Amino acid sequence: MTLPRDARPRRHHSPHPDYRPLPDYRLYLVTDPSMTAEHGLVRTVLEAVDGGVTLVQLRDTEVDDDEFVRIGRTLHTALAGRVPLIVNDRVHLVAAIGAEGAHVGQGDLPIDQARALLGPDRLLGLSVQTTRHLEVARALGEDLIDYVGIGPVWDTATKPDAAEAGGPERTTAIAAASPWPSVAIGGISLDRVPRVRATGVDGISVVSAICGRPSPRDAAAALLAAWSS
């Protein structure tokens, strides 16, 4: 779902360009192929969207590009525009999938090159772990990206190669320094949602808190309720 520009408060300093959609970042689902195997990827994601997920990132590091495009197209068709679909890392496949954007990490394609591949109208997110990462991104151009993912907040088993966890304190510092909307990721469980919201981020990004649950719909609804309370 893409919100009207007056539907939610925005940071007064956000450089988000007016020609790109403004997503609702409150509950950002990142998929995991092993965790969605029981219900299937599409069913898991659609149930999660029914429960309140506002943004979906397709992440699968095991399949080749052709299979990734097939999976992405199937998921994008099933979503039918209900929420934006973001592609993890494989920026060169966004157009083939028809996705609304991409997300890159510090070791992936640089954001200026990613933006050149995406064009001006698609969304681009960047993972950051320090305020220095923000400074480097700003130097390249504030309008290149649309949001940052801050984390991991806590240790997470869903991404073994993740950076060292920074805790809520570091998340607070990065969110305060960011000119872009921010989402926190890493070890976020239902009981930790209030602590994460207190850091000043615009939303939470989760994997196992939804993908690994018996009912993705119920899990998403509980997370969104905890964020909104």
pLDDT value at residue 13 = 53
Q: What is the tally of structural domains in the chain?
A: 1
In a domain, 1, yes or no: no
- Is 59 assigned a catalytic role? yes
In a domain, 174, yes or no: yes
Is the per-residue pLDDT at 4 higher than 80? no
Render the burial of 162-192: b for 16+ CB within 10 Å, e for the rest: bbebbebebbbbbbeebbbbbbbbbbbeeeb
pLDDT value at residue 10 = 43
Question: What tens digit of pLDDT does each residue of 158-216 get?
Answer: 656 667 888 999 999 999 999 999 999 999 999 999 999 999 999 999 999 999 899 99
pLDDT value at residue 156 = 77
Q: What is the CA radius of gyration of the chain?
A: 16
pLDDT value at residue 225 = 98
- The active-site residue out of 26, 127, 178, 182 is 127
In a domain, 6, yes or no: no
Average pLDDT score over residue span 37-56: 97
Average pLDDT score over residue span 105-129: 97
- The active-site residue out of 20, 26, 59, 170 is 59
C-alpha count within 13 angstroms, C-beta hemisphere, residue 28: 30
Task: Find the range with the poorest average confidence among 6-10, 70-74, 127-131, 144-148.
Answer: 6-10
> pLDDT-derived band of residue 108, with 50, 70 and 90 as boundaries?
very high
Tokens for 36, please give them.
């969605």
In a domain, 22, yes or no: no
Residue 91: DSSP 8-state: G
Is the per-residue pLDDT at 34 higher than 60? yes
91 close to 104: Cβ distance less than 8 angstroms: yes
Range of the domain at 204: 27-228
Is the per-residue pLDDT at 20 higher than 70? yes
pLDDT value at residue 139 = 97
Average pLDDT score over residue span 59-78: 98
pLDDT value at residue 141 = 94
In a domain, 4, yes or no: no
Residues, the chain: 229
pLDDT value at residue 98 = 98
In a domain, 8, yes or no: no
In a domain, 144, yes or no: yes
DSSP string of 135-181, one letter each residue: HHHHHH-TTS-SEEEE--SS--SS-TTPPPP-HHHHHHHHHHH-SS-
Is the per-residue pLDDT at 3 higher than 50? no
In a domain, 49, yes or no: yes
For residue 111, the domain's CATH number is: 3.20.20.70
Q: Could you give the CA distance from residue 57 to residue 29 in angstroms, rounded to a whole number?
A: 6
More confident residue, 161 or 55: 55
> pLDDT-derived band of residue 1, with 50, 70 and 90 as boundaries?
very low
- The active-site residue out of 20, 115, 122, 159 is 159
